[in-house]
Structure 1
Amino acid sequence: MYRFLASTRWLGWFLMVCVFAAACAALGNWQMNRLDEARADNGLVAANYDAAPVPYAEASREFSRLDPERTWTPVALRGQYLDRDTAVVRNRPLNGAPGYEVLVPFRTQEGDVVVVNRGWLPIGNDTAGRPDTVPAPPSGTVDVVARLKAGEPDVGRTAPAGQLASIQLERYERLLGYDVQTGAYGVLASEAPAPASTPAALPRPEIDEGNHLSYSLQWFAFAVLGFVGLGYAAKQQARINREDREEAAEAEAAGVEVLHSAYRAPRRRPARRRDGGPTDEELEDAYLDSLEAGRKS
């Protein structure tokens, strides 16, 4: 009954469904990988964000090469801000509002220079493309607690003087003209003495897995549905072939030659009239039979 599945046409359909299913499975696995990454990030926030600050002497190596497992770990710094080298990072939205983030080099008492992200500023009204004011950091010796975060990739865009297109620490180091720790930077948590005016603090990262699991299940379902659809089409074709064989057998018994295609749409049986009378198709057949009888007589 299903020997037609070995034909070139049906083997081609089967191959197409296999390719479709493989693509869906790959997309489903990709979403599952993104889910694993989201869960790992959530775990780092839960484990590190509110931990006790680590002295810079113990965490200095993280600023040169950050261990991903130490992301968001608070580090206690003591030193001095290099206010003259402040830069702002463009295109940094916060809660749907456009703005900037403020980066300031910080020279620790150990002699290293690390980058501290002091927070967010809204876009300015006085001069296009710049914040109206950039609050100055505390002067003199300052105690800072900042959470570790890896630098960002180069986005390939330029920026006006005093601005950066992303927190790409190597580019910032080249602009400064002196050595800076480029393995990580610190997101400001607190500073003492506290200045009168500061940029808005960056919010705590949300612990959210996103829709990756549902998307993954949808892709896997699509992969299965491809084979279900092919199976349904094969079942329909088998039924059509069976009806054609039955029609051919009836025609052979009546001595009439019947021509039909190996592939056709299913036939609809004529609906019976509610009053029990003949259908339009039966009336048409009777009319054609009478014409044929008159032609022969």
Structure 2
Amino acid sequence: MTRHWSFAFSWRWGGYLAVAIVFAVVCGFLSNWQVSRLHEKEQIQALVDRNWSADPVPLDEIVPDRTTFDDSHEYQPVSMTGEYLVDDQVLVRNRPRSGKPGFEVITPLRLDSGAIFMVDRGWVPTGNEQDHPDSIPAPPDGTVTVVARVKPGEPELPGRSASGDQIATIHLPDLASRVGGDSYTGAYGLLVSESPEPSDARPLAAFQPEVNEGMHLSYAIQWVIFALLAFAFLGYAIRQEYRLRNADDPRVRESEERRERKRREKRTDADVEDELLDSVR
């Protein structure tokens, strides 16, 4: 019987096996990459959950250098005291919320130290008749204690611009140039609370982010299945060539007939009924 399979040890089939192995290795790398992406997103969500509910600490403890920011502190609540610079307040365009267009309200806060920290006080909807809010809730007057969750600034977006009191992105160096003075350019804050409370209702506070884990696990499993299918197809192709090469051999023919009889014996009543229905159509 060994001689019937001798063709499978040829250079041709060795080459096919090498291709299948290379394909399986590539699938393995891609599967591992998908698992790595899933772990990255899980770590990001864990960071958000941990920092979002943490107790506030002084701003200087988390952002000691105004020009840099440690991403591991993102969404950590910090406390600071100062006075809002309402005249330098700006609106960030194109900030939808729950499917509605609107703006983020960025109000600079001059701290007791004299440095300026940008505070995102929340979201307001676009006006009914103009590309501008109908009203913007005013922050508290005078000295105010603010708790905010720190975030890194956003990158500058080429080709996107705005005019007047509107900006296209929270690019902190640009905001610093508008206000002047020693501004924080490494981080800004999402407002949590103000003391004293403002007389007007605050803009809507930011949602806690939920990282979408996506289909990474499913894709990882699919790549493993593709790798296994490569070897299954190789085995099927070898089996088909074996049948063709040995079609005239009585022993091979008898073996195939036994295999076919066993397959037929395993048929269910439903299979028989389907065959009968097919035969009369």
The TM tier, using the shorter chain, reads 0.7 to 0.9
Task: State the partner residue of 2:161.
Answer: 159
Counterpart Cα distance in 2 of 1:5 and 1:88 = 72
- Which amino acid letter does the alignment assign opposite residue 217 of structure 1? I
Counterpart Cα distance in 1 of 2:18 and 2:180 = 59
Task: State the partner residue of 1:138.
Answer: 140
Counterpart Cα distance in 1 of 2:6 and 2:176 = 70
- Which amino acid letter does the alignment assign opposite residue 144 of structure 1? V
170-179 vs 113-122, which moves further: 170-179
3-state SS in 2 of match to 1:107: strand
Task: State the partner residue of 1:184.
Answer: 187
Match among 215, 227, 252 for residue 231 of structure 2: 227
Counterpart Cα distance in 2 of 1:96 and 1:242 = 67
Tell me the TM-score normalised to structure 2 length.
0.75
Counterpart Cα distance in 1 of 2:139 and 2:243 = 81
Task: State the partner residue of 1:117.
Answer: 120
Unpaired segments of 5 or more residues in structure 1?
248-297
Counterpart Cα distance in 2 of 1:180 and 1:36 = 36
Counterpart Cα distance in 1 of 2:101 and 2:9 = 59
Q: Can you list the C-alpha shifts for 1:140-168, whole angstroms capped at 9, x where unaligned? A: 11110001112222232322213222222
3-state SS in 2 of match to 1:158: coil
**Cα shift at 1:118:** 1.0
Greater relative contact order: 1 or 2 (C-alpha under 8 angstroms, separation 6 or more)? Answer: 2
Unpaired segments of 5 or more residues in structure 2?
251-281
Task: State the partner residue of 2:38.
Answer: 35
- Which amino acid letter does the alignment assign opposite residue 121 of structure 1? V
Count of residue correspondences:
246
**Cα shift at 1:197:** 2.5
Counterpart Cα distance in 1 of 2:156 and 2:89 = 19
Q: Kindly indicate whether residue 98 of structure 2 is the aligned counterpart of residue 95 of structure 1.
A: yes
Task: State the partner residue of 1:285.
Answer: none
Structure with larger Rg: 1
CA distance 1:246–1:219, change in 2 (3 Å): same
- Which amino acid letter does the alignment assign opposite residue 3 of structure 1? F
**Cα shift at 1:69:** 2.1
CA distance 1:81–1:18, change in 2 (3 Å): farther
Contact 1:62 1:184 in 2 (8 A): no
**Cα shift at 1:186:** 0.7
Q: Can you list the C-alpha shifts for 1:89-115, whole angstroms capped at 9, x where unaligned? A: 222222233322121211111121111
**Cα shift at 1:203:** 1.1
**Cα shift at 1:182:** 1.6
CA distance 1:132–1:235, change in 2 (3 Å): farther
Counterpart Cα distance in 1 of 2:83 and 2:216 = 44
Contact 1:157 1:165 in 2 (8 A): no
Counterpart Cα distance in 1 of 2:238 and 2:222 = 24
Q: Kindly indicate whether residue 189 of structure 2 is the aligned counterpart of residue 168 of structure 1.
A: no
**After superposition, where does 1:48-63 map in structure 2 within 5 Å?**
48-61=51-64, 63=66
Q: Can you list the C-alpha shifts for 1:250-271, whole angstroms capped at 9, x where unaligned? A: xxxxxxxxxxxxxxxxxxxxxx
**Cα shift at 1:171:** 3.1
Q: Can you list the C-alpha shifts for 1:26-49, whole angstroms capped at 9, x where unaligned? A: 432332222122221222223221
Counterpart Cα distance in 1 of 2:54 and 2:30 = 37
Counterpart Cα distance in 1 of 2:113 and 2:238 = 75
Task: State the partner residue of 1:241.
Answer: 245
Counterpart Cα distance in 1 of 2:6 and 2:177 = 71
Counterpart Cα distance in 1 of 2:249 and 2:240 = 15
Counterpart Cα distance in 2 of 1:225 and 1:126 = 60
Contact 1:85 1:105 in 2 (8 A): yes
Pairwise CA RMSD of aligned residues?
A: 2.8
- Which amino acid letter does the alignment assign opposite residue 229 of structure 2? L
Contact 2:62 2:73 in 1 (8 A): no
CA distance 1:241–1:95, change in 2 (3 Å): farther
3-state SS in 1 of match to 2:105: strand
Counterpart Cα distance in 1 of 2:239 and 2:37 = 38
- Which amino acid letter does the alignment assign opposite residue 239 of structure 1? R
202-211 vs 98-107, which moves further: 202-211
Match among 68, 84, 88 for residue 85 of structure 1: 88
Contact 1:2 1:238 in 2 (8 A): no
3-state SS in 2 of match to 1:228: helix
